Structure 1
Amino acid sequence: MSLPVSRVYCDDKGGEQQNKSAWFQFIKSIATFKGDLATLTAPPFLLAPQSIVEYSAYWAEHPHLFIAPSHEENAERRALLVLQWFLSTLKRQHASKDDDGRRKKLKPLNPFLGEIFLGKWVDHTGTTQLVSEQVSHHPPATAYKIWNDMHGVRLEGHVAPKAYFTSTINIERKGYSVMHIDKYDEDYWITMPKAHIEGIVTFQIAPELSGTSYIRSSSGYTSRIDYSCKGWLRGRSNSFSATLYRDNDKDNPLYTLEGRWSDSYTVKCGKGKLLDKVNLVALEKTPLQVAPIEKQHPLESRRAWKQVADAINANDIFVVGQEKSKIENAQRALRREEKAAGETWQRRYFFQAKADPVADNLSIGVKGTVEHDEHRMVWKFDDDKYRKIIESQRQGIKSPTHTRFDSGVGFIEADA
């Protein structure tokens, strides 16, 4: 006779000690794990109700900053505006608390191969479009394109995170972005900083940025951003120091920006004169618009993960594990079927390119930021395919790209 299984809910009081115990068990298990930590299952209480594929939206939460460089005729000041736009993208993506001061769940859902996220921002700058797609699963990689046709600005890139453990959880993000400004036929090559987790021992879990990231322009300017965090004796959390200089003249910065990427920073000219103080908390955000769940494609993130996200928001650990396993098992079944048929998954919006001349050219001289080996993956947006999909949607024609349960949610072992 089987015993009835009751659902497990985590409330703020009774579940806190249980969460701490699960957290330390998790840390204990990863301390001896070899390989990418992304392949491990995190405790349910850590899971955020959104997928990593949605993180591409952080690039353009402030469309007026995204398009601002297109209206600056001076190349030096354009480079400064691009740097300031980049700094505005860090807070919501990495801060440990949301806009209401509540501690966020820090482990996003791992996207499945082919997962997409589509949206747009509409305000006085016009319409800024977003297309994001999980283009690789082993290793994981998300490709994205964001563009505003009215102002001729577009951002295209990919990020391939890899997590590992050395006294704490560390996250490297290989890949890069390239911003292009049509009016000046100008490119900016952009890299991301490393991240790690603070507060493991105290259970005050919070992400922190470290290392160095770069922005290099085809007009001859480089921005270097160095990240630091609160140490045992001094320092402040979420700190950074950035310098903007002409290429090959880094000892004579044109601008210096210092502060906290989660709060505010100052802008000074090369001689040290204060030019501005920017309050990142007060920046106005434009809401991202996405299609209603029922009208989304089966591949779209919020539709595919809806049951999991609902269970996370309800603190229902049992359903979280149950619904998450359905998708993961279905994806494994799809991969087995493809392998047996000698097929590979066809990406919906992106393709793998052999090279990226813009990135290769602008990364010259920046040590350790682009992987110059034959296994490096470069993902490019397929504009023709995107236009065909949009035109088919206008005519009411369904996509023929995948005929069976695109998200894998409805694909069970019995169907294989």
Structure 2
Amino acid sequence: MGRKKGTAKSTWASFLKSIASFNGDLASMTAPPFILSKTSLVEYSAYWTEHPELFVAPAKEQDPEKRALAVLKWFLSTLKQQYSSRSEKLGSEKKPLNPFLGELFLGHWEHETAGTTELVSEQVSHHPPVTAYSIFNKKHGVKLQGYNGQKASFASMTITVKQVGLATLHIDAFDEDYLITLPALHIEGLVYGTPYVELERSTIIQSSSGYLAKIEYAGKGWLSGKKNCFTATLQKTGSKEILYTVSGQWIDTFTIKKGKTEVDSFSHKDHPTTPLNISLLENQDPLESRRAWAKVAAAIDEGDYEKTGLEKSKIENAQRELRKKEKEDGSPWEQRYFTSKERNDTVDKLLEVAAKHMVASGVSAVTLDDPSKTNGLWVFDEQKYEDVKSGKRDEVLKAAVKSVEEATAKAPVTIAQEIPLVDRE
């Protein structure tokens, strides 16, 4: 077994001491291996739909106002899974594995009333790192798709993460779209060695039917004394009238009010998550996340930091060689399920509607991130998906998998003393 570099407590204290005066991009910082998670960022897409019944609920509402409220309730119910569930399971927030280009995470949820909901998640860009995803339920005609990346920095003993990208929700029955922006966040608790996520600033959900939800996030303060708090409002676009207010803690419980009257509530204790079904490891595609990172995950479980670094370096060095070869050959990697676009008409229209309302309310308008930050605007390619399912792309996919496997087998091993917080060339 490889060497373990001291106890977690002593190593964490040493790490904090070394970065006490650090400010800047995390790409130049390393961290103790024991804070490394065995979960890749490409898996995080699944956290959108661990409550499938809430995901499809808007499709059952005939009234557009109630649909908009149902979408807001579903979105708020996802925040705990997206930003807190890992720290609860592991004792504190861990650094996820940085996905390699082409990495996949595929699965589906089976729910008594919601039926089957499918997940397709793919790492579509490595520099900058971007994950794209599509989650769809054909029975109820609900589809979520989006893409996101992160830009992390460190200052005053706090890690701040700006998320770039967006998500859109479509409901077939009403030909209705919702634009969802992503919250900024920072990591609290570093000084105590128990990091956790706190959301900040605000996000919106704009519907094509003319409703705008605004969510304001707040951390633990002198008044509330509670962490992970939020307040949300739902309005008719262009109107100052507040139709509904929602408030509480996104990790615990929140209430929905119309005026001063409580009309609904949600508690995570009363809504257990639905497990995601994925193929057995031996049946997965070699590019699927858990199969690809299996040896790294096993080393992390064993607490073998040296082996963790060695196995991780094989994958990373292989990817560098593949990118170098692709550049030399003039044949860039082809994404399996997604396509990059310069414009997205649906998003542009919803942003325009939201901007008019927010400017009229004296609030800074939401703008789309520069596409260069994500290598374009990523959309789920239905034709690619069908071609993969029908076997039309079998030969192309086999060749891509073979190139990754051969590069990994030949990749040199790099012995790293610590784990970079952000991968760098």
Q: What amino acid is the match of 2:190?
A: I
In structure 1, the residue matched to 2:76 is 87
What whole-Å deviation, never above 9, does each CA across 1:208-266 have from its counterpart, x for those lacking one? 100101100000001100000013565420000000001112x3210000000000011
Aligned match for 1:114, one of 73, 88, 102 = 102
- Counterpart check, 1:9 vs 2:8: no
Aligned match for 2:129, one of 130, 135, 140 = 140
Q: Which has the higher helix share?
A: 2
In structure 1, the residue matched to 2:344 is 356
In structure 2, the residue matched to 1:389 is 388
Q: Distance in 2 between matches of 1:53 and 1:219?
A: 32
In structure 2, the residue matched to 1:371 is 369
Q: In structure 2, do the counterparts of structure 1 residues 317 and 67 end up closer, same or farther at CA, with 3 Å as the change threshold? A: same
Q: In structure 2, do the counterparts of structure 1 residues 68 and 159 end up closer, same or farther at CA, with 3 Å as the change threshold? A: same
Q: What amino acid is the match of 1:262?
A: I
- Counterpart check, 1:246 vs 2:236: yes
In structure 2, the residue matched to 1:189 is 179
In structure 1, the residue matched to 2:290 is 302
SS at match of 1:7: coil
**TM-score normalised over the length of structure 2:** 0.88
Q: Distance in 2 between matches of 1:216 and 1:39?
A: 37
Task: Please list every run of 5 or more consecutive structure 1 residues that lacks an aligned counterpart in the other structure.
Answer: 1-5
In structure 1, the residue matched to 2:422 is none
SS at match of 1:333: helix
Deviates more, 1:403-412 or 1:57-66: 403-412
User: How far off is 1:76 after superposition?
Assistant: 0.3
What whole-Å deviation, never above 9, does each CA across 1:22-80 have from its counterpart, x for those lacking one? 3443x348x244x4x25754321111110000000001111111000000000000001
User: How far off is 1:87 after superposition?
Assistant: 0.8
For 1:13-412, what aligned pairs fall within 5 Å after superposition? 14-25=7-18, 27-28=19-20, 31-33=22-24, 35=25, 37=26, 40-95=29-84, 102-124=90-112, 125-167=114-156, 168-231=158-221, 234-249=224-239, 251-269=240-258, 271-364=259-352, 365=355, 367-371=365-369, 377-392=376-391, 399-400=397-398, 402=400, 404-406=402-404, 408-412=407-411
User: How far off is 1:371 after superposition?
Assistant: 2.4
1:96 and 1:207 in contact (8 A); partners too: no
2:314 and 2:412 in contact (8 A); partners too: no
What whole-Å deviation, never above 9, does each CA across 1:364-409 have from its counterpart, x for those lacking one? 206244125676620111111111111229x987834515343653
Q: Distance in 2 between matches of 1:328 and 1:375?
A: 22
Q: Distance in 1 between matches of 2:3 and 2:250?
A: 38
SS at match of 1:139: coil
Larger RCO, structure (CA 8 Å, separation 6 or more): 2
Deviates more, 1:196-205 or 1:402-411: 402-411
**TM-score normalised over the length of structure 1:** 0.90
1:298 and 1:405 in contact (8 A); partners too: no
Q: In structure 2, do the counterparts of structure 1 residues 392 and 279 end up closer, same or farther at CA, with 3 Å as the change threshold? A: same
Q: Distance in 1 between matches of 2:144 and 2:248?
A: 26
What whole-Å deviation, never above 9, does each CA across 1:325-346 have from its counterpart, x for those lacking one? 1111111111111111122111
Q: Distance in 2 between matches of 1:188 and 1:319?
A: 45
Q: Distance in 1 between matches of 2:128 and 2:14?
A: 30
Q: Distance in 2 between matches of 1:345 and 1:309?
A: 26
Q: In structure 2, do the counterparts of structure 1 residues 44 and 139 end up closer, same or farther at CA, with 3 Å as the change threshold? A: same
C-alpha RMSD over aligned residues: 2.4
Q: In structure 2, do the counterparts of structure 1 residues 380 and 47 end up closer, same or farther at CA, with 3 Å as the change threshold? A: same
Q: Distance in 2 between matches of 1:334 and 1:284?
A: 42
2:80 and 2:250 in contact (8 A); partners too: yes
Task: Please list every run of 5 or more consecutive structure 2 residues that lacks an aligned counterpart in the other structure.
Answer: 359-364, 414-425
User: How far off is 1:179 after superposition?
Assistant: 0.4
Q: Distance in 2 between matches of 1:385 and 1:401?
A: 16
Q: What amino acid is the match of 2:400?
A: H
Deviates more, 1:169-178 or 1:88-97: 88-97
In structure 2, the residue matched to 1:3 is none
1:348 and 1:401 in contact (8 A); partners too: no
Number of residue pairs matched by the alignment: 399
2:167 and 2:179 in contact (8 A); partners too: yes
Q: In structure 2, do the counterparts of structure 1 residues 127 and 54 end up closer, same or farther at CA, with 3 Å as the change threshold? A: same
1:53 and 1:115 in contact (8 A); partners too: yes
Q: In structure 2, do the counterparts of structure 1 residues 311 and 122 end up closer, same or farther at CA, with 3 Å as the change threshold? A: same
Q: In structure 2, do the counterparts of structure 1 residues 256 and 335 end up closer, same or farther at CA, with 3 Å as the change threshold? A: same
1:54 and 1:117 in contact (8 A); partners too: yes
Q: What amino acid is the match of 2:188?
A: E
2:23 and 2:155 in contact (8 A); partners too: no
